Structure 1
């Protein structure tokens, strides 16, 4: 039995090839345009950032490089016979570190434990309510947080204004930042690590302490430093709860205390006609930027040397 075979003519490929080349060229053009737009937006965003950094560094490095900036405060400024050209900011630098550290000691454990509960334990209405409250706190203006603590600290209890009250107000601003960043870091931990630990009979709490937290530790440190940078530059709660002082106060729980933001606010009205006040303003701004930069570098080093290898 024979089968008749017909010669099958090849399909014309000229038009299809041209169409494919046309589509490929159109996609390449769109990709190039999108790349140009993205890079343009990136460079436009760098312009104000570079301008701010250049302005602050060019005007603030000179007073900051003076030894008296780190060694002296402004005790006696305004008194007869006192050298009014003193540009010391030791009292403000120490006050900023004390307030920010006091805030971190309270806020970081609360935020990390809240994030652990939401990721590892949270189910149902309680978890949704806590997550909703964290979202609410993330949008609260700093002056509202300061007024809230003032109403409790001064109006209700009648306590004196001090740096610790400012730390309590800043806790409300730092908790949502650290909580959300920690929550995202915990979600990135593979579930296989948890399941392997459970398969070995390890309790859940020990799995979190020994497996989940070490795996995400570098990310938690980074989020904590972001929160630290947020509260170190806040001004409104300090104006309400910790009045500016020209003297060095090393007691967070008693008396007025200075900080770099309040130092800027105090000298800002005299900045136009007084070169010394202008130096204090720009020097404090430059010191604040340098402080946040150093804290972030330290955090990166801690995260690098403590992260889980391989």
Structure 2
């Protein structure tokens, strides 16, 4: 029995736990403060240098030649929008349908369990590995870089995000809702699509937006697939300009206007991803179904 059973404030075990609790809270607050300080430093540097590179020309002119003045990022912006848009159009139906399958049949189906395991692996796989895979499978066989190769690589990165989000959201639907639909005589495919999927449509859209934010700034897979194009082009069967690779190349260049364009492009990508994350967490936010 404790020496002070009626006064826990004087209990040595209680005091030891209280000290451990306070130390843990202090270390957590310290780690959070360091993280916020570093993040604030990065954002401040990006804003300070990025706004200096923004102008109307960045959206209306193409990337400049080495040593020339002016220029913009029109070709890179259009190329990124094309590849990211097509990747989203490809990955969204595949990811949603795969997520529905896992939620409906993933409890005891061996194939579904393997699919979920592979999806988890792809979620944590480095993007450069995806780029090398597409390079070996597609680019090396057609003997040229292309926007289609970049689209395939980005789609492979986006699909696992949509699959996992859809699967997790569908599992939040209460069984009582499904039983009511079955009791009315609805077939399983209708329950899965018109009842279960509709109940969590906001969460599924959030997953799609998060996958879009994930691929918007990917550089490594595009280095091995789409590469880059300094001229304006919408030909998906040829090297295509894109913001991540242009930022990567211009940031290391010796030309001041190239570095300014790199900062401006980085600011555009950052604010685009930030806007998508805010949109996914506010407009399409959804609580757990009751």
For 1:2-17, what aligned pairs fall within 5 Å after superposition?
15-17=4-6
Equivalent pair of 1:110/1:175 in contact (CA under 8 Å): yes
Could you tell me the TM-score, scaled by structure 1's length?
A: 0.82
Aligned to 1:21, which of 9, 14, 23?
9
Q: Which residue of 2 aligns with 1:10?
A: none
1:294 aligns with 2:275: yes
How far, CA to CA, are the matches of 2:192 and 2:287 in structure 1?
15
How far, CA to CA, are the matches of 1:285 and 1:15 in structure 2?
62
Judging changes above 3 Å, is the alpha-carbon distance between structure 1 residues 144 and 309 closer, same or farther for their aligned structure 2 residues? closer
How far, CA to CA, are the matches of 1:256 and 1:141 in structure 2?
23
Q: Give the structure with higher Rg (CA).
A: 1
Q: Which residue of 2 aligns with 1:38?
A: 28
1:62 aligns with 2:42: no
Equivalent pair of 1:102/1:164 in contact (CA under 8 Å): no
Q: Which residue of 1 aligns with 2:258?
A: 277
For residue 254 of structure 1, give the secondary structure of its aligned residue in structure 2: coil
Q: What runs of 5+ residues in structure 2 fail to find an aligned partner?
A: none
Q: Which residue of 1 aligns with 2:138?
A: 153
Across the aligned residues of Structure 1 and Structure 2, the Cα RMSD in angstroms comes to 2.6
Deviation sequence 1:155-176 (CA, Å, 0-9, x none): 33x2642211111012221111
Q: What runs of 5+ residues in structure 1 fail to find an aligned partner?
A: 1-13
Could you tell me how far 1:39 is from its partner in structure 2? 2.0
Q: Which residue of 1 aligns with 2:38?
A: 48
Could you tell me how far 1:307 is from its partner in structure 2? 8.8
Q: Which residue of 1 aligns with 2:179?
A: 195
Aligned to 1:185, which of 157, 161, 169?
169
How far, CA to CA, are the matches of 2:168 and 2:69 in structure 1?
49
Deviation sequence 1:103-124 (CA, Å, 0-9, x none): 1111121111111111112233
1:72 aligns with 2:55: no
1:90 aligns with 2:77: no
1:218 aligns with 2:191: no
How far, CA to CA, are the matches of 1:140 and 1:31 in structure 2?
36
Could you tell me the TM-score, scaled by structure 2's length?
A: 0.87
Aligned to 1:136, which of 108, 121, 126?
121
Judging changes above 3 Å, is the alpha-carbon distance between structure 1 residues 47 and 15 closer, same or farther for their aligned structure 2 residues? closer
For residue 202 of structure 1, give the secondary structure of its aligned residue in structure 2: coil
Q: Which residue of 2 aligns with 1:263?
A: 246
Equivalent pair of 2:139/2:149 in contact (CA under 8 Å): no
1:243 aligns with 2:232: no
For residue 155 of structure 2, give the secondary structure of its aligned residue in structure 1: helix
Number of aligned positions between the proteins: 285
